[in-house]
């Protein structure tokens, strides 16, 4: 989910403030407070809830997930389309076998070439066993939730 820097700041403040932001329309002119427009945009997206009193803004479950997802996105690796395709299979426990020439096969299908596997090896997502097959490392297995099922 794309969030502006101001929206991220509001969600971080709400998360560190016990899931709540206390703010009135008068207090927005005070330095360090968030604009009502930013708060309203987060309410519209379902990331914050506004209390009937209008002074308390509560972080929703979706808001917590959005800020956590945002943090993960900042630290997660950038993978090419071919690397994503390979890791989607390998994080599920499949191994990759060398094929003819520079091809690499997973489940009997050509999935990529050796250069892709070497790049994943350098990143620490796969390792090579003594038979020449590639298997996902712990870091590669950790991508399972991010990449989804095959």
Higher pLDDT: 104 or 11? It is: 104
Report the pLDDT value the prediction gives residue 57, as an integer from 0 to 100: 80
Q: For residue 8, report the phi and psi dihedrals to the nearest 5 degrees.
A: -60, -40
* Range ranked top by mean pLDDT from 11-20, 50-59, 117-126: 117-126
Q: Is 47 exposed, middle or buried (0-12, 13-18, 19+ CB in 10 A)?
A: buried
Q: How confident is the model at residue 74 (pLDDT cuts 50, 70, 90)?
A: very low
Choice among 11-25, 36-50, 126-140 with the minimum mean pLDDT = 11-25
Q: Interior CA angle at 106 toward 105 and 108, to 5°?
A: 75
pTM exceeding 0.75: no
Does residue 33 register a pLDDT over 60?
yes
Q: Which domains does the chain have, with CATH numbers?
A: 5-74 (1.10.10.10), 81-145 (1.10.10)
Distance CA 143, CA 62 (A): 22
**Average per-residue pLDDT in the chain?**
81
Report the pLDDT value the prediction gives residue 102, as an integer from 0 to 100: 92
Q: For residue 83, report the phi and psi dihedrals to the nearest 5 degrees.
A: -65, -40
């Amino acid at each position: 989910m794309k969030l502006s820097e101001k929206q991220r700041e509001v969600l971080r403040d709400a998360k560190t403030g016990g899931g709540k932001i206390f703010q009135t329309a008068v207090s927005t002119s005070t330095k360090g407070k968030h604009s009502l427009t930013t708060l309203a945009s987060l309410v519209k997206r379902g990331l914050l809830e506004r209390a009937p009193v209008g002074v308390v803004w509560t972080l929703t479950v979706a808001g917590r997930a959005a800020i956590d997802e945002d943090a993960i996105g900042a630290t997660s690796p950038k993978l090419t389309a071919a690397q994503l395709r390979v890791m989607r299979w390998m994080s599920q426990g499949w191994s990759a076998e060398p094929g003819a020439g520079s091809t690499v096969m997973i489940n009997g299908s050509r999935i990529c070439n050796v250069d892709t596997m070497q790049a994943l090896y350098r990143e620490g997502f796969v390792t090579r066993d003594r038979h020449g097959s590639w298997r996902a490392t712990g870091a590669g297995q950790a991508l399972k939730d991010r990449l989804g099922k095959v």
